[in-house]
Structure 1
């Protein structure tokens, strides 16, 4: 099994490499330090599975996963991160990742999870699974009636001008309300807001 390790921390890459190379059936065929390097490595080496960090400079793991799965859908991707938040877990899986592991996972467990991933099994760390089953950031009850209306229209692809016309309010009010909704639901931008609307429906 050929493994590509992608993490912006060189020490993490090297430590994981040493850990996995101790397994007789695992060969670490490369290290990459951001998403762009991961894509270039895939062009040359075609790994069986990638251990992919999420937060990296130049191109993050979720963007890289999306592009890699589009070009090489047979390559399995296991997200590897210290971040246990439900938002990143969902975004990683939406991008096409087959699994999500926390960096504190034990070495033997990680090797076994990689083997299972290559065989086509979906792998979620126990803590990550709990985050998905018990999400903390998407309690729609915290939104006012007006905020829910705007949340719905954003998810339908409406522009601020169109939302303002439909609800008979100003575009400034729409912008301010969207900012409030983003903050309450802990979402980065309106694109991700739309994605999460359909995920929690």
Structure 2
């Protein structure tokens, strides 16, 4: 199996050097670039075409969510893993809504980082034990908040995918019906999982059908792109 190409972005040089050394110690990963600001990261996205971006930006400048959003605009298909000391629910929520695939504490172990990056690369998203509790917290609060529902954070295409998931369509059938590739469907699903706080297709289907939390009425959702 070819190595997973990783772009590292952090505005603390010591953290950047440490993360680079750590990942280079794993045979599954290849660090294609290690940069300290968002502008350099966007340039590297265009040149190096990484599979994953691991970023700790957020303490200054663009902020966590803005950094994720800018990277997502520069390369919509790249998967973004945030590694930061900021573990408040509000930062986790905004990062996932902006398009992050995972949100990790800098206190995680070497092996947990490795496994999370591999999971994100294979499946599109991952939740650490610490982050899962925060995701469930803001997802629960949003379900109880009327207009603050996680559904409000979905794009039109993500809502369309969710509607088909609720009809028990699998990835291949969703791809066929929407005229897109199964890989693109999986990318949509990974972002839906992160925004809804679900972890797989079955759980997401149950959520959409109203089996999790308050009932969800999909017929009122716009399906435009």
> Same fold by TM (over 0.5)?
yes
Give the secondary-structure state (helix, strand or coil) at the position aligned to 2:54: strand
Contact 1:6–1:35 under 8 Å retained in 2: yes
Q: 2:44 aligns to what? A: 41
RMSD: 2.9
Unaligned runs of 5+ in 2: 143-147, 149-213, 215-225
Q: 1:84 aligns to what? A: 87
- Select between 49-58 and 22-31 the one with higher mean Cα deviation: 49-58
Alignment of 1:72-111 (within 5 A): 72-111=75-114
Q: How many residues align?
A: 146
Alignment of 1:1-201 (within 5 A): 1-135=4-138
Contact 2:79–2:124 under 8 Å retained in 1: no
Larger Rg: 1
Give CA deviations for 1:134-188 in whole Å, capped at 9, x if unaligned: 35xx79xxxxxxxxxxx9xxxxxxxxxxxxxxxxxxxxxxxxxxxxxxxxxxxxx
TM-score (norm 1): 0.64
Give the secondary-structure state (helix, strand or coil) at the position aligned to 2:77: coil
TM-score (norm 2): 0.57
How far the C-alpha of 1:56 sits from its partner, in A, is 4.0
- Select between 108-117 and 50-59 the one with higher mean Cα deviation: 50-59
How far the C-alpha of 1:119 sits from its partner, in A, is 1.2
Unaligned runs of 5+ in 1: 140-150, 152-200
